[in-house]
């Protein structure tokens, strides 16, 4: 928090980001055509769009898992285009948390150990604090009784809750969630969504949630729509729906 860049700069700023893939040797397929996007601290935004619109590619580029072909990305005030893989990994580990579509827990570890894993990977060595932090986070997502169960023993909804706890473990500035409720039934999805919301409120963490579920998007504060690799609309959702029943009615 002592980092002055953190206070003044937006959490995420994209300037003219292009991404293309080589298809064969000659043809290049451009997936993102100049994306400009700013996410301020504490925002809770949805990224929607039809399949093939480039949502996942954009998320990967934002998450520093993939490099843009052109354009600049600022994460937490750091310009990323000149960073090498080591520095990108470091920045990603410290500033960005991920929640993937189907839970991506490590099956070799218990729930608590999964939550500790980012701390462990970034600090290199376990310590007592990590365990406490992990238990507190699991408590927040309501899974403290399950902390010593192996990841594979948990239900899909539970696994996704652990994923959220894990994404928040490093107290990142930004959490990227790719279809976090995609594989869950409505009830479990609601619970998971509420957790994302509360994570946003409690820690002031910025969230960007990729979804093609309009109900879910309507419950976010801001909706960014991507079509064919371009942002076609970016509007604040002035009256975010609080409950899924209402969201369903609107949909």
- CB nearer to other proteins: pick between 45 and 58: 58
Q: Which of 65, 57, 64 is nearest to 32 (CA)?
A: 57
Chain residues 119-148 in contact with other proteins, contact rule CB under 8 A: 120-128
The single residue listed with the structure tokens 């309501």 is: 142
Beta strands in 2-56 (DSSP E): 12-23, 27-39, 44-48
Chain residues 74-103 in contact with other proteins, contact rule CB under 8 A: 85-86, 89-90, 92-94, 98, 100
Residue 104 binds other proteins (CB under 8 A): yes
Site string for other proteins, 210-249 (x = CB under 8 A): ----------------------------------------
110 - beta bridge partners?
Answer: 150
Chain-centroid distance, C-alpha 72: 19
Q: What does 186-223 look like in DSSP terms, one character per residue?
A: HHHHHHHHHHHHHHHHHH--EEEEE-S-HHHHTTSSEE
Pick from 113, 179, 190, 213 the residue near other proteins by CB under 8 A: 113
Pick from 16, 50, 52, 107 the residue near other proteins by CB under 8 A: 107
Instruction: Report the alpha-carbon angle 184-195-229, nearest 5.
Output: 65
Q: Which of 142, 160, 34 is nearest to 103 (CA)?
A: 160
- CB nearer to other proteins: pick between 41 and 123: 123
What are the angstrom distances between the C-alpha of 29 and each of 11, 63, 68, 118, 249?
29, 21, 13, 34, 39
- CB nearer to other proteins: pick between 29 and 121: 121
- Neighbouring CB atoms inside 10 A of 39's CB total 21
Size of the site for other proteins (CB under 8 A): 33
Shortest distance, position 148 Cβ to other proteins, whole Å: 12
Shortest distance, position 104 Cβ to other proteins, whole Å: 5
Chain residues 54-73 in contact with other proteins, contact rule CB under 8 A: 60, 63, 65-66
Q: Which stretch binds other proteins (CB under 8 A): 18-26, 105-113, 137-145, 180-188?
A: 105-113
Residue 4 binds other proteins (CB under 8 A): no
Q: Quick check: 141 and 114 in contact, CB under 8 A?
A: no
> Helix 186-203 and helix 128-140: axis angle, to 10°?
120
- CB nearer to other proteins: pick between 82 and 238: 82
Query: Where do contacts with other proteins occur on this chain (CB under 8 A)?
Result: 60, 63, 65-66, 85-86, 89-90, 92-94, 98, 100, 104, 106-109, 113, 116-118, 120-128, 166, 170
């Amino acid at each position: 928090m002592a980092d002055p860049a953190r206070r003044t700069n937006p959490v995420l700023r994209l300037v003219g980001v292009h991404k293309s893939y080589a298809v064969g040797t000659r043809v290049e397929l451009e997936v993102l055509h100049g994306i400009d996007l700013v996410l301020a601290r504490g925002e809770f935004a949805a990224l929607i769009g039809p399949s093939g619109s480039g949502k996942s590619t954009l998320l990967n580029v934002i998450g520093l898992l993939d490099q843009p072909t052109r354009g600049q990305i600022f994460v937490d005030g750091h310009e990323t285009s000149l960073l090498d893989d080591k520095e990108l990994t470091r920045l990603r580990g410290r500033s960005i948390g991920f929640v993937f579509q189907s839970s991506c827990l490590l099956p070799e570890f218990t729930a608590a150990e999964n939550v500790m894993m980012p701390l462990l990977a970034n600090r290199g060595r376990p310590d007592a604090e990590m365990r406490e932090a992990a238990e507190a986070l699991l408590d927040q997502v309501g899974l403290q009784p399950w902390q010593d169960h192996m990841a594979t023993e948990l239900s899909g909804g539970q696994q996704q809750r652990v994923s959220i706890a894990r994404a928040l473990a490093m107290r990142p500035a930004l959490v990227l969630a790719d279809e976090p409720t995609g594989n869950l039934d409505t009830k479990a999805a609601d619970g998971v969504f509420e957790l994302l919301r509360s994570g946003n409120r409690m820690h002031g963490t910025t969230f960007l949630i990729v979804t093609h579920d309009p109900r879910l998007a309507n419950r976010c504060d801001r909706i960014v729509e991507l079509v064919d690799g371009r942002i076609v609309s970016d509007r604040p959702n002035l009256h975010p729906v609080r409950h899924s029943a209402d969201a369903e009615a609107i949909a």
